[in-house]
């Protein structure tokens, strides 16, 4: 691997770390921490609804509530 490839992958890793965990980094100014949070919410919003995890307990909890009444 040459220096350009190593530098590219280092930038990619830093960008991913920033998006995933940048809002908890106290040394960053608040606008940068907000940018990390907004980037993460944007990327999560791109995830299709049919791939999002479903709350499979919700229907069961509703049935329990109906029985308790």
Give residue-wise pLDDT tens across range 1-34. 798 999 999 999 999 999 988 888 889 899 999 9
Q: Do 22 and 33 form a contact (C-beta atoms < 8 A)? A: yes
pLDDT band with cut points at 50, 70 and 90 for residue 46? confident
Q: What is the pLDDT of residue 34?
A: 92
Q: How long, in residues, is the chain? A: 69
Q: What is the pLDDT of residue 50?
A: 78
pLDDT band with cut points at 50, 70 and 90 for residue 58? confident
pLDDT-above-90 percentage for the chain? 35
Burial of residue 1, with CB atoms counted within 10 A of its CB: 0-12 exposed, 13-18 middle, 19 or more buried = exposed
Nearest to 37 by CA among 14, 52, 21, 26: 21
Three-state DSSP class for 48? coil
């Amino acid at each position: 691997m040459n220096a350009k490839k190593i530098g590219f992958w280092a930038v990619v890793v830093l960008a991913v770390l920033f998006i995933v965990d940048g809002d908890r980094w106290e040394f960053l100014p608040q606008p940068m921490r907000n940018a990390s949070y907004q980037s993460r919410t944007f990327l999560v919003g791109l995830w299709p609804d049919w791939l999002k995890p479903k709350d499979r307990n919700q229907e069961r909890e509703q049935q329990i509530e109906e029985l308790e009444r």
